[in-house]
Amino acid sequence: MKIVVLDGYAANPGDLNWGELKALGECTIYDRTAPDEVLGRAAGAEIVLTNKTVINAGHIDALPELKYIGVLATGYNIVDVDAAKAHGIIVTNIPAYSTASVAQMVFAHLLNIASQVQHHSEEVHKGRWTRSKDFCFWDTPLIELRGKRLGIVGLGHTGMATARIALGFEMEVCAYTSKSLLQLPHGIKKMELDELFSQCDIVSLHCPLTDATREMVNARRLALMKPTAILINTGRGPLVNEQDLADALNSGRLYAAGVDVLSQEPPRAYNPLLTARNCYITPHIAWASSAARQRLTDIMLDNIRAYLAGKPANNVAK
């Protein structure tokens, strides 16, 4: 059985072991694959694994031996699932592997913004504390999270994990979610979307990217937010109209934003958020802790073994 990994570097840049995957068959692992290399590299493979390399209908039509596509991520929009289903090809994803790590990144951004950790550390290294007349110094607002209202858009695995952390900080937690009131844990209040944007001190995005959610954060919704509010996006870059967010930050209509995802990655040099006021950006690393990537690898192997046993798991092409 031939197995091909099209872009293994992000999930495993060398700190994890591919040994168990290699034991399952003739396995070739590529760090990265360009679009025009997909067919040549996947030719003859029964199993193809991909993280961000697109597998479209044309590829599927041209790969008659292909029986299984494993997406090394939770989102699977990079695969033409309808085409795969028409050919009887199983498509699996990796659900919930990075829940704890992404929720942690939400609060890494939030705590950095609230306590200005990065800024004050940089100022200390510039000598400002050394030159201080007092035993301490600060030159930005320092915000206590206790009692602040956090609005979570999308209460799936990561949204719920974020809510639990927030409750530990004694924050008020609100959510825009399809869950009924009876399904919500104690301490979480259900809100409509515009109500959440207008009433919450922090809004954190955890919803999937769909036609309905694309650029849901736009000039109109940003205008609803308090000028002291903070936006956090560890979900999907296109949930946000980046020019509208940059305008809101630069004009002071919004206090700050912390984002781990952008509409195009890597970003173009002219992305307006790169120079926006009080915009803190990490390079899509919320998912990438070693623990999360090990879970991803373990679930990937479980998915393949389930397929080989004739009992596919996490099949999104049913």
pLDDT, tens digit, 9 for 90 and up, residues 46-104:
999 999 999 999 999 999 999 999 999 998 999 999 999 999 999 999 999 999 999 99
Length, in residues, of the chain? 318
The mean per-residue pLDDT over the stretch 273-293 comes to 97
Catalytic residue among 41, 87, 277, 284, which?
284
Are the beta carbons of 197 and 151 closer than 8 angstroms? yes
Comparing CA positions, the residue from 78, 16, 80, 23 lying closest to residue 50 is: 78
Split at pLDDT 50, 70, 90, the class of 181 is confident
Give residue 39's identity as a one-letter amino acid code.
Answer: L
Are the beta carbons of 173 and 202 closer than 8 angstroms? no
236 carries an active-site annotation: yes
DSSP state of 272: G
Q: What is the pLDDT of residue 176?
A: 97
Question: CA 75, CA 77: separation in Å to the nearest integer?
Answer: 6
The mean per-residue pLDDT over the stretch 130-153 comes to 96
Catalytic residue among 20, 32, 265, 305, which?
265
pLDDT, tens digit, 9 for 90 and up, residues 17-53:
999 999 999 999 999 999 999 999 999 999 999 999 9
pLDDT > 90: what percent of the chain? 96
265 carries an active-site annotation: yes
Q: What is the pLDDT of residue 257?
A: 98
CATH numbers and ranges of domains, the chain? 2-97+290-308 (3.40.50.720), 99-281 (3.40.50.720)
Question: CA 232, CA 245: separation in Å to the nearest integer?
Answer: 11
Are the beta carbons of 206 and 158 closer than 8 angstroms? yes
Split at pLDDT 50, 70, 90, the class of 138 is very high
Split at pLDDT 50, 70, 90, the class of 5 is very high
Q: What is the pLDDT of residue 33?
A: 98
> Which tokens hold the place of 98?
């990075």
Of the CA atoms within 13 Å of residue 143, those in its CB half-sphere come to 19
Cβ neighbour number for residue 274 with a 10 Å cutoff = 14
- Residue 180 predicted with pLDDT over 90: no
Catalytic residue among 236, 242, 293, 295, which?
236
Q: Where are the beta strands (DSSP E) in the chain?
A: 2-5, 26-29, 47-50, 68-71, 90-92, 149-153, 172-176, 188-190, 202-205, 230-233, 256-259, 279-281
Helices and strands in the chain: count of H runs, count of E runs:
11, 12
